[in-house]
Structure 1
Amino acid sequence: MITCYIKYEINPARIAEFEEYARMWIPLVEKFGGTHHGYYLPHESPNDLAVCLFSFPSLADYEVYRAKSMEDEDCQKAFRFAETMDCIRRYDRLFLRPVERQD
């Protein structure tokens, strides 16, 4: 399993718009076989930081999702929404693997 951790620098004046964008993506990741762990918005932290976590069985499965998302109408709608609303300034993607318990 591989988990994608996305750290967003968001526009603090557009948190509501970013939250709407986030709600669009949760079912889209799941539509393509991923498990969404949620978006996390600023609380007791910098007001321009948000994170997102979702997993796929492998990096190859993630790459299939990325390719399909570029052609999917609902995914493109979400991309356009974020651009139009100017709610995301930048983002960084990290890929993590879990430490498995050994008995």
Structure 2
Amino acid sequence: MVTCYLRYVIDPYKTKEFEEYARMWIPLVNQFGGQHHGYFLPSEGASDIALALFSFPSLAAYEAYRNNAKDDPACIRAVQFAEETRCFLSYERSFFRPVLEGNE
């Protein structure tokens, strides 16, 4: 299993738009074989950082999702929404291998 960690720098005046963007992606990741663990919006502390976590069975499964998402109408709409609203300024993507109980 591989977990993708996304760290966004968001526009704090467009948190509502970013939340709408996030809600678009959760079912899409799940539809393409991933398991979305949610988006995490600012609460205390920095008001311009948001996070997202989702997992796929393997890096190959994640790459298949990325390739399939390029042509999916709902994914295209989500990307266009982000571009139109400019609800985030940048993001970083990292991958992790989780250590879970009973997972060797």
Aligned partner letter, 1:2:
V
Identity %: 55
TM-score between both structures, scaled by the size of structure 2: 0.95
Name 1:23's counterpart in structure 2: 23
Deviation above 3 Å: which 4+ runs of structure 1?
100-103
Q: Does 1:47 align with 2:27?
A: no
Matches within 5 A, 1:5-84: 5-84=5-84
Task: Supply the distance in 1 between the matched residues of 2:99 and 2:27 (Cα, whole angstroms).
Answer: 26
Task: Supply the distance in 1 between the matched residues of 2:76 and 2:97 (Cα, whole angstroms).
Answer: 28
Task: Supply the distance in 1 between the matched residues of 2:101 and 2:27 (Cα, whole angstroms).
Answer: 29
Task: Supply the distance in 2 between the matched residues of 1:11 and 1:99 (Cα, whole angstroms).
Answer: 33
> How big is each residue's C-alpha offset from its partner over 1:76-100, in whole Å with a ceiling of 9 and x where there is no partner?
0000001100101000000000124
SS at match of 2:13: helix
Task: Supply the distance in 1 between the matched residues of 2:45 and 2:16 (Cα, whole angstroms).
Answer: 17
Task: Supply the distance in 2 between the matched residues of 1:100 and 1:35 (Cα, whole angstroms).
Answer: 15
> How big is each residue's C-alpha offset from its partner over 1:31-66, in whole Å with a ceiling of 9 and x where there is no partner?
100000000000012110000000000000000000
State the aligned residue count: 103
> What are structure 1's unaligned runs of at least 5 residues?
none
